[in-house]
Amino acid sequence: MSAPEPAAAEELRPVAVPMTRIVAIGIGVWALALVVTLVVPTLHEGPRSWWPWCCVAGLVLGLMGYAYVRRGRGNAAEAAASSD
């Protein structure tokens, strides 16, 4: 039996991914984690006192990423088209 031939490069296309939705979901997960760590006392007392700050850092970085993607910087197709 012969192996199937690989697809030509022009046949392969990148998958369209809604990056803003993905980043927004990540921000929501960090917000939920912050609420949970603040509501449950054992998750923010003693040696785990840094856990809420980790969630805050995740929220801040997520918001920065959301602004980056909304401006179009996270879109590789547009970046390649603008460099031509």
Is 84 among the domain residues?
no
Range of the domain at 42: 18-72
Distance CA 82, CA 84 (A): 5
Give residue 26's identity as a one-letter amino acid code: G
Is 43 among the domain residues?
yes
Mean pLDDT of the region 50-73: 92
What is the number of domains present in the chain?
Answer: 1
Is 23 among the domain residues?
yes
Is 1 among the domain residues?
no
What proportion of the chain, given as a percentage, has pLDDT over 70? 74
43, 55 contact by CB (below 8 A)? no
Which pLDDT band holds residue 53 (cuts at 50, 70, 90)? very high
- Say what the pLDDT of residue 76 is: 58
Is 40 among the domain residues?
yes
Is 42 among the domain residues?
yes
Long-range contacts of 14-18 (CB under 8 A, 24+ apart): 14/76, 14/77
Is 63 among the domain residues?
yes
Provide the 10 A C-beta neighbour count for residue 1.
3
Give residue 54's identity as a one-letter amino acid code: C
